[in-house]
Structure 1
Amino acid sequence: MALNVTKISQISPLSDSSREYPFILPLTFFDLRWLSFHPTQQVIFYKLSESSRESFYSVILPKLEQSLSVILHYYLPLAGHLKWYPQDLKPCIVVLPHDTVSLIVAESSDANFSIVSSKGLRPAKELRPLVPELPVSGDSPTLLSLQVTLFPNQGFSIGIVSHHVFMDGITAQMFTKSWAHICKHGTTALPEDLTPFLDRTVINVPVGLETKMLEFLPYLSEDKDNARTLKLPLTEETDADVYRITLELTLENVVKLKERAKNETNRPHLELHLSTFVVVNAYLWTCLVKARGVDVDRPVAYEYAADFRNRLGPLVPRTYSGACVFPISCLGYKAKSFLGEDGFINAVEILSDSVKGLGSQGIEVIFDLCVERVKNIEQGTQVWAVSGSNRFSVYESDFGWGRPVNSETVSTDQCQLLSMSEMRDQTGGVEIGLCLKKSEMDVFISLFKNRFEN
């Protein structure tokens, strides 16, 4: 896809004479876990009935820029950088008076918007030009970068790349909804449910747990020799044979999966946590293991991020903005557990026990288990992770020109990562995005659809 960059804006947060600089936000235990994680890259597509160059540059773009300035006043840390000063035990987010967020404006002259914004099977690398890179100054990465791409007389897209230390999935959703609200309504005020809560003192974890996390960081970083590095993994070139697809499970499909789990388990139904999240991820895990091949003894694992806003004491406000999730791994399994007819129910019971266990285990126990598993993971383990959940309503961000026609997590092409969200046009349905090599993707799609077609 050929793009022509027409403008690069540096958007400042709306000025506030009462705010003191430098603005410093300390990282919490949860933030630190994601210090060296791949930036999250998302692109959101908006179809327009009227989208000439003239109307885009005179109406749409000014509104997007003005509302972005307003929303950065609320989400001030996103204008800053990560710093780790020599005298400090841990890094922090620092915002200086003239810090800005980069907004690239581009045009596509040859792309068919309907195809680019579709959910169908296509080469993964096609979406890469629609998201920017996260600027890094030395060893001090920024937290947010944006790109708006016009498809003349068709629509536009908003590409968002963000650092995970401040933007977990819930924060990312809320930021986009808040920006859209300001843009659509032409206001500078946010409703309470969209106003970010930034106070880090609400994150209460056992004494000494942050120190343990700091000691664990070298195991998570690509730079094992520099424990204080803030460098992020480089975005790797996506192979031409890697393909992307967004699949849907309707509410009817989800109900069938829950009924299947009840029919196949030998355990009392009340013992199982048969949520949509559990049965859908169990189904995906089973299909992914089968699509890889029949090496029955290869090690396999599945990982999801658990939100701890409602799991700490006292509870953290739902509008808390930052990272408040922790990865939960289901490790120690062989492919043969998922290749047979009982593969689905095995996955259901494993994930059900994992999710139910979050209610009885404190964060310190969960952290210690995580450290043990990372240090002892069997070489060659096929690890799949899911980002998001069936409760993520990514289609509610209306900037004033209608709801998105599609939303894609572009960074799923960088690792074995699935994206999950609520379906656009049906409550209770689920969308799943993933990237695989074409040969493996064909097998996966066949397995995924076969159960419901037969």
Structure 2
Amino acid sequence: MVEVTVFPNSGFTICLTFNHVVGDGKSLHHFIKFWASLCKARGDLDPFETTLSLPSHERTRLKDPKGLKLLYSQAIEITEPKITEFVGLRFRFSVVLSRELIDKLKNWVSFKCGTHDSGALHISTFVITCSLIWVCMVGSEESEQYSDQLCYLVFPADSRDRPEFSLTSTYFGNCLTICMAAMKRSEIVGENGIVAAANAIEREIRDFKSDALKKVENWVSDYRERVKPGKSRLFIAGSPKLGVYQTDFGWGKPKKCEAAHIESSASISLCDCRDEKEGIQVGLALERVQMNKFVNILEQKLHNIDKF
């Protein structure tokens, strides 16, 4: 569904909703960019003038060596959509991490890893961003901080071009692997929480790269366990690689891009930045008290790292 809201003498918004059964974020933004290219060219787009490849709809190429289609169809219940209850006022805001700050965070974690013998660690922009935000989010929660309660970070991984699936990078559909990092709350809020979180997230990424179908039979049961009431979990939506600010309908870059479904402390969104090259925009929605705690913790963490 597409909804356009006009703000007189100011601008307008384009809001899109889609179902993950049809396609994932990469599929959606490929469609949006193609649509935008046609609009920018006023409908006269030459196939050879665009850098975008046509999407592939060849689902017959998808391999299913573990019989997941039958497994998931039996495990997932089909239920009627539920009306979402109002859970309280949330403040939607964004945190922008510049390229300079990200590099400083990477150097700081690399130094800490060497100091604490954490072993070789590939510190990507994704890993360092998620580590920082996860630590600040857990610290802002109303809970006994130094406990052995497990906290979970759940993030998707694009599985196109993986040999386990035999799909091209232009495949239009839903092709994501779910990765879940787990840590004790006391470790996350501890002195070396960011370093420990980076190790946990990187470990999940390494497991995915070695075998994208690892533990795939347990995805549904693991997910249900993670979302039980009282569990601390943080879901990551989106990716800077989607290039949402590179979409141009003919009037330039969007002023602001947001994931409207981010409406609780259980999820955040990631995307590229409009004006900060190679920066990261993090979208959040928190109650005022937790928002203030989150911002205070974030500022303190960055202040400590800035002294490095």
Q: TM-score, normalised by structure 2?
A: 0.89
Shift of 1:384: 0.5
Partner of 2:127: 278
What are the Cα deviations for residues 376-403 of structure 1, in whole angstroms up to 9, with x where unaligned? Answer: 5475211111111232211111111121
Take 2:85 and 2:2, find their aligned partners in 1: how far apart are those partners?
19
Shift of 1:433: 0.1
Partner of 1:432: 282
| Counterpart pick for 1:197 among 37, 56, 61 | 56
The 1:419/1:362 distance shift into structure 2, 3 A limit, reads closer
Please give the secondary structure, in 2, of the residue aligned with 1:421: strand
Partner of 1:386: 236
Contact 2:23 2:173 in 1 (8 A): yes
Shift of 1:414: 5.4
- Choose between structure 1 and 2: higher strand proportion: 1
Partner of 1:159: 15
Shift of 1:375: 5.2
Q: Which protein has greater RCO, CA pairs closer than 8 Å, 6+ apart?
A: 2
Take 2:225 and 2:10, find their aligned partners in 1: how far apart are those partners?
51
The answer as to 2:19 corresponding to 1:168 is: no
Please give the secondary structure, in 2, of the residue aligned with 1:330: strand
Partner of 1:288: 137
Shift of 1:294: 5.2
What are the Cα deviations for residues 57-108 of structure 1, in whole angstroms up to 9, with x where unaligned? Answer: xxxxxxxxxxxxxxxxxxxxxxxxxxxxxxxxxxxxxxxxxxxxxxxxxxxx
The answer as to 2:99 corresponding to 1:237 is: no
Q: How does 1:65-144 map to 2 (within 5 A)?
A: none
The answer as to 2:161 corresponding to 1:310 is: yes
Contact 1:291 1:443 in 2 (8 A): yes
Partner of 2:4: 148
What are the Cα deviations for residues 309-361 of structure 1, in whole angstroms up to 9, with x where unaligned? Answer: 02234642222111111221123x32111111111111011001000111222
| Counterpart pick for 1:373 among 222, 226, 229 | 222
Shift of 1:197: 1.5
Give, as a single letter, the amino acid of the residue that structure 2 aligns with 1:211. Answer: L
Take 2:212 and 2:18, find their aligned partners in 1: how far apart are those partners?
29
| Counterpart pick for 2:251 among 401, 405, 418 | 401
Contact 2:160 2:166 in 1 (8 A): yes
Please give the secondary structure, in 2, of the residue aligned with 1:406: coil
The answer as to 2:156 corresponding to 1:300 is: no
The answer as to 2:79 corresponding to 1:216 is: no
Give, as a single letter, the amino acid of the residue that structure 1 aligns with 2:223. Answer: V
The 1:289/1:283 distance shift into structure 2, 3 A limit, reads same
Please give the secondary structure, in 1, of the residue aligned with 2:209: coil
Query: How many residue pairs align between the two structures?
Result: 296
Contact 2:164 2:212 in 1 (8 A): no
Partner of 1:252: 100
Contact 1:412 1:435 in 2 (8 A): yes
The 1:417/1:294 distance shift into structure 2, 3 A limit, reads closer
| Counterpart pick for 1:178 among 16, 34, 59 | 34
Contact 1:299 1:380 in 2 (8 A): no
Please give the secondary structure, in 2, of the residue aligned with 1:426: coil
Please give the secondary structure, in 1, of the residue aligned with 2:15: strand
The answer as to 2:172 corresponding to 1:321 is: yes
Contact 2:177 2:212 in 1 (8 A): no
Please give the secondary structure, in 2, of the residue aligned with 1:317: coil
Take 2:225 and 2:8, find their aligned partners in 1: how far apart are those partners?
52
Shift of 1:426: 2.4
Take 2:279 and 2:152, find their aligned partners in 1: how far apart are those partners?
25
Take 1:342 and 1:232, find their aligned partners in 2: how far apart are those partners?
42
Shift of 1:186: 1.6
Take 1:415 and 1:166, find their aligned partners in 2: how far apart are those partners?
26
Take 2:249 and 2:14, find their aligned partners in 1: how far apart are those partners?
11
The 1:232/1:317 distance shift into structure 2, 3 A limit, reads farther
Take 2:155 and 2:216, find their aligned partners in 1: how far apart are those partners?
14
Take 2:117 and 2:221, find their aligned partners in 1: how far apart are those partners?
29
Take 1:416 and 1:362, find their aligned partners in 2: how far apart are those partners?
25
Give, as a single letter, the amino acid of the residue that structure 1 aligns with 2:255. Answer: V
Contact 2:99 2:277 in 1 (8 A): yes
What are the Cα deviations for residues 221-271 of structure 1, in whole angstroms up to 9, with x where unaligned? Answer: xxxxxxx44x4443443622x1110110001111111111111123465x3
Contact 2:102 2:128 in 1 (8 A): yes
| Counterpart pick for 1:445 among 267, 280, 295 | 295
Give, as a single letter, the amino acid of the residue that structure 2 aligns with 1:176. Answer: I
Partner of 1:206: 65
